[in-house]
Structure 1
Amino acid sequence: MIRDRGNIKWTAIMLPEHVAAVKQEVLDLEKVKQPILDEDRLTEIEMLIHEAMEYNAQLEFKLFKKGYIESIIGHTHFIDYIKKEFRIKDKDELIHKIPFQKIVDVQKV
C-alpha cells in the first residue's frame, strides 16, 4: 500500500528566509512618499489647530512615519514654536510630541 503525504509534501518548498523576504516585499509595496502640502492647506491646518485649542475640540492628526500614514486622535495640548512640534494629548491622557513636518492632514472629529 502506498502512503501519500498529501499537501504536506508541498508546504516546505520555500525556505524561511524566502518567506521573510516575500513578506518584506509586500510591506514595501504599501509604503508611500510623504505628501507635500501647499501654503493654502498649511494655513487651513494652522487655523483648525488654533480653533481647536481655543474650544478644546478633538482633532484627528494624520502623520507620516517611515513610509506609512498613521492617525492620532486627541486635543492639542501645546504648540512649541522653538522645537517646532505639537504636543497632543490622546484619550488615554498620553502626550505625543509630533514635529511640524510630520503632519500630513488634520480634521475635526
Structure 2
Amino acid sequence: MNIKDRGNKKWTSLMLVEHRKRLQELKENEGQLEKPELDEQLKAAINYKLIKAFEEKLKLEIIHFKINRFKKNRGYLAAINTKDKYILLSQNHKKEKIFLENLIDLKIL
C-alpha cells in the first residue's frame, strides 16, 4: 500500500489565514537559537583563561554566538581590545574579530 501524503496542503482549506501565517513564521524561525546569558563566575573564568592564553601564547578553542548560531573556532589570541571589548583570534594566517559579549565557552588546548 503506497499512500502519497501531501503534508499540510490537505489541511490548508480548513485553516484560517492567521494559522497559515503563523505556520510560515514557525518554519522560518525553526533553526534560530537564543544567546544564553552567562553568570559572573563563568565570565570571570573565561576572562582568566583569555589572559592566561594571551600571555603564554596557548592555542584556544572558542565557542561563540554569531547570527543565531553557535560557532566554534580554534586558534591563538592575536590581540585583546578592552576598549572596544573584542578579541582577535588568529587561525591559519587569518584573523577573526570576536566580541567578548558573544563568548559562550573557552578551552585551552
Please, what TM-score do these two structures have when normalized by structure 1?
0.71
CA distance in 2, matches of 1:58, 1:31: 30
Matched, 1:84 2:90: no
Deviation, structure 1 residue 60:
0.7
Paired-residue identity, %: 20
* Partner residue, 2:15: none
What do you get for the CA RMSD once the two structures are aligned? 2.0
Q: CA deviation at 1:66?
A: 1.5
Residue-by-residue CA offset, 1:72-107 (whole Å, 9 max, x unaligned): 1011111111111101101x1111111111111111
Q: Deviations over 1:47-70 (max 9, x none)?
A: 011111111111111111111100
Structure 1 segments (4+ residues) deviating >2 Å: 27-31
Counterpart secondary structure, 2:76: strand
Q: Which residue of 2 aligns with 1:36?
A: 37
Q: Any residues of structure 2 matched to 1:52-63 within 5 Å, and which?
A: 52-63=53-64
